[in-house]
Amino acid sequence: MERSLSMEIVRVTEAAAMASARWMGRGEKEEADNAATEAMRTVFDTIPMNGRVVIGEGERDEAPMLYIGEELGMTGGPDVDIAVDPVEGTNIVASGSWGAFAVVGIADRGHMLHAPDMYMEKIAVGPEAVGKIDLNASVTDNLKAVAEAKGKAVQDVVACVLNRPRHQHIIDEIRENGGRIKLIPEGDVAGAINTAFDHTGVDILFGTGGAPEGVLAAVGLKCLGGEIQGRLKPENDEQIERCKKMGIDDPNRVLTMEDLVSGDDAIFAATGITDGELLKGVQFKGDRATTQTLVMRALSGTIRFVDGTHRLKTKPNLVMTDE
């Protein structure tokens, strides 16, 4: 992949974040997602690349744009696979709460898992605990391993967990060990990425969330030197068959970083929509907006926080662009 592609992708997530932010707190999550998707799609087609969506808004008959298999970009650039989530946290935007962002992950063609829209059990950590976690081990054992790796007591470890009834057993075991918990309403891509940044206070992510989000998190953690392990959780025969079509004959096997996003290179970009622990959300000031974006590349190990100021042009459908 070309080095300039990193900053091109920043324009994509910035546009999506600004478009979605217009719907913050208005209680209409589908409108927020549609606005971000349209803005993201428009900017993608200005980028010199031969892109193919492998994780998107759904199958072609479910999504009018950014559907799985859709071709993006101008011809003549590198051949890449693209994972998108125009709004990571649609309910967060709709309620005006904490930590939504627009996110894109890119890898060389054929290097990203085509994860189906099903659940995935996950565990994720930052660089200090790489090689210390095991999805097959107990919550207790993983807490102890991370505590030892980071030189702290188990009681000082903070685990991020999606606030769902299915995770009550995880929450109970963390509490039994004296560990601390940060429950999040949605957005486990952010939860996984936060494990690699000390200032978020998060040490480990546990729980079951979307498989596509697991791949996006893997792209980010590859850039950060962290680790995520996953296991698909098909709920019926149709989903089992989808796993087999992906080349995963045994859905119970643990998927490693190399299974989720292989090779040496990947690019990850996320722009805050609402304020969060990692990124500030979009702010509108007269005819301008400010954004904050995290953009990273695995090959170089570069991590950038990009603060942007944009002159706005309002369209009737509330999609925002910078002139």
Which of residues 238 and 317 earns the better pLDDT score? 238
- Is 241 labelled as part of a ligand binding site? no
Spatial distance between the Cα atoms of 5 and 27, rounded to a whole number of angstroms: 34
- Is 172 labelled as part of a ligand binding site? no
In percent, how much of the chain has pLDDT > 90? 83
- Is 33 labelled as part of a ligand binding site? yes
Chain segment 231-276, per-residue pLDDT in tens: 999 888 888 888 887 778 888 899 999 999 999 999 999 999 999 9
- Is 176 labelled as part of a ligand binding site? no
Contacts for 32 with CB less than 8 Å, ≥ 6 apart: 20, 23, 24, 26, 87, 90, 93, 94
What CATH number belongs to 119-260? 3.40.190.90
Chain segment 111-160, per-residue pLDDT in tens: 999 887 899 999 999 999 999 999 999 999 999 999 999 999 999 999 99
Statement: the pTM of the whole predicted model exceeds 0.85: yes
Structure-token match 């930590």, residue found: 99
Chain segment 60-71, per-residue pLDDT in tens: 767 789 999 999
- Is 85 labelled as part of a ligand binding site? yes
pLDDT at 134: 98
Thinking of the domain 5-112+265-322, which architecture would CATH place it in?
A: 2-Layer Sandwich (3.30)
| Domain ranges for the chain | 5-112+265-322, 119-260
DSSP for 149-186 reads HHTS-GGG-EEEEE--GGGHHHHHHHHHTT-EEEEESS
